[in-house]
Amino acid sequence: MKGGTSAGGAQVINLPIGAPAPPAMRPPRWDVDDWGRDSKLVGLTVRLGRLRWSLTLDGERRLPARRGALIVVNARRYALTPVFTALALGETTGRTVRFVGRPDVVPFGPVLRRLGGLLDRADEVRGALRAGELVVLGARPVVHPRRVGRVDHEVIGAAVSTRTPVFPTATLTSPLTGHARIRIGSAARPGRRRRGPLSELELADVVERRIQRLLDELGGAQTGTLLDWVPLGVAGG
Amino acid sequence: MAGRRVLVSGMGGDLGSRVAALLEAEPWVAELTGLDADPPRRRLRRASFDLVRPHEHDRIVDLVTTFDPHVVVHVAVWEPFSRATPARARQFTDDAATSILGAAAECPSLESIVVRSGIEIYGRSRGAPTRPDESAAIDPTCEYGRMLAGIEATAGAIGYRVGIAVSAIRMGPVLGPHVPSPLGRLLHLPAVPFSVLADPPFAVVEDVEVARAFAVAARERLAEPVNVVADGAITAFQAAWRGGRVPIPIVEPGWAVGRLISGLLGAPVPDHVIETLQRGRLADNSRMIELLGFKASTTTIDVIDKLYAWPSVTRVPAREAAA
């Protein structure tokens, strides 16, 4: 900016209107998305996870290419199954995959939010599904590796209200061998068309049964003894 | 629809004068008038303006009822520490809302009210939705959010009693080259504090987009709230990084000290900005297309980059001392 004096003695200020803007600083890209997910951190976590786990994923072609979907998985207590499923699916499909169930306390909440975590609220999930996101929901965690817990019908209701398909999915992991398997079933549909909230209750039941069936289909020896509870082979959510 | 009288409260501010400039270009607006405690910040060609303070209740009632507007656009909201201290901002906002909206309710021609609100209205209590949409519960957890909730409640009550359309533009933190934003001022400091344990994301919006939202809401007689924020999000650390500022990590007890230092450096920080830096502030803007017919053309990151590109105030010393 330059100043000068006109003939009448008034001070003239030349503002730099129309001057080219200074080149914007281009720091390294390190952004978060609309929900606070950090794709760089997700990529790093996936690479670290590969050092420990080998993964077999099948059925991912059933997922819609662009639209949103709710993927419901069985979960074993303390196993963080929805987190690992979301990371694995995201790596395979190349899409942003979020999971339900991050806490809202520091430091775990912010870290899980960077990995794609959503709060366990139906309205939060509804927003993500409406935006066309893939969302992984864990059934209620159970101790037995071959059982599936209750599926939250309120979150299923978010999928019903946004007309989003719901995919029952079975996960099996073996901490000893480091192998994990994810099988995505075909989209579940409620048995009868309902006008009220019964549809979400019935769909949650259908999803639960379908996950149990997928778990049974994945096989593995069933001895009927305490050995079934130990993750020796590919077993357990 | 043509030949409507429009009243813009808060026409003196940057946002109010932008809204007025857009409404001047609307063919359905026959007469446009504005009220504020400060004169308009940009040249308006058709609008008339009355300089009036928020506490001049009788004068406001007289001006509003004489004009008898069809549409009232209520922008007269003082964000704490933008142009007034939190206590005065609360008082001015409350006075203006009561006087102007109350007077508008007495006007027989009134058809719709558009009020300025903000996404602070949703609150950031523990477990609150990360990206609340317009149907989320109103549960403000900061002073500014409570002020905005009060305005929405007042306008809603008037709309219910009089039977008119009432809409609220729930905007994210507004940034612009001439917007007195406490968040913008804080991010412009040489060192920017961020929460080391959380560093949550927040979204902002540019002033031109918000002004456009007001103009469309007034034209369409919108009858529901709408979130107006830019796409994307950014954290305080990332914003500081992009702007070439020094990020200062802060844990919970240090915020009081950080707030004090920031105030001494000329950027006082109100509680809603502290809440933004500690808990984040996002909102679901997916209904903007449906309700307003447009989406913000700049993302949050673009707005932050612009914030650092906008020139600072250039002080030009007087050539000669005044006699």
Question: Do the Cβ atoms of B130 and A35 come within 8 Å?
Answer: yes
pTM for this predicted structure: 0.86
Is A35 part of the contact surface with chain B (CB cutoff 8 Å)?
A: yes
| Predicted pLDDT of residue A234 | 47
Is B132 part of the contact surface with chain A (CB cutoff 8 Å)?
A: yes
Cα–Cα distance for residue pair A204/B157, rounded to 1 Å: 40
List B residues 277-316 in contact with A (Cβ-Cβ < 8 A).
Answer: 280, 282, 284, 286, 301, 305, 308-309, 311, 314, 316
Indicate whether A222 belongs to any domain: yes
Give pLDDT tens digits for A92-140. 999 999 999 999 998 899 999 999 999 999 999 999 999 999 999 999 9
Indicate whether A128 belongs to any domain: yes
Domain total of chain A:
1
Q: A29 Cβ partners below 8 Å, 6+ apart?
A: none
Indicate whether A17 belongs to any domain: no
- Chain A contacts of B233, Cβ < 8 Å? 32-36
How far from chain centre, in Å, is Cα B105? 23
Q: Does the model's ipTM exceed the 0.95 cut?
A: no
Question: Do the Cβ atoms of B129 and A24 come within 8 Å?
Answer: no
Indicate whether A1 belongs to any domain: no
Question: Do the Cβ atoms of B280 and A33 come within 8 Å?
Answer: no
Backbone angles phi, psi at A144, to 5 degrees: -70, 130
List A residues 69-108 in contact with B (Cβ-Cβ < 8 A).
Answer: 104-107
Q: Return the exposure string of A80-96: e unless at least 16 CB atoms fall within 10 Å of the residue's CB, then b.
A: bbbbbbbbbbbbeeebb
- Chain A contacts of B129, Cβ < 8 Å? 119, 121, 123-124, 127
Is A25 part of the contact surface with chain B (CB cutoff 8 Å)?
A: yes
Query: Which residue range forms the structural domain that includes residue A195?
Result: 37-233
- Chain B contacts of A135, Cβ < 8 Å? none
Highest mean pLDDT: which range of B42-46, B167-171, B240-244: B167-171
CA distances (Å), origin B32, targets B5, B11, B146, B323: 6, 11, 30, 40
Indicate whether A193 belongs to any domain: yes
| Predicted pLDDT of residue A2 | 44
Indicate whether A3 belongs to any domain: no
Indicate whether A2 belongs to any domain: no
| Predicted pLDDT of residue A229 | 62
Name the stretches of chain A with pLDDT < 70.
Answer: 1-29, 219-237
| Predicted pLDDT of residue B320 | 64
Give pLDDT tens digits for B216-260. 999 999 999 999 999 999 999 999 999 999 999 998 888 888 888
pLDDT at B204 exceeding the cut of 90: yes
A34 min Cα distance to partner chain B (Å):
5
Indicate whether A87 belongs to any domain: yes
Give pLDDT tens digits for B116-154. 999 999 999 999 999 999 999 999 999 999 999 999 999
Backbone angles phi, psi at A158, to 5 degrees: -65, -40
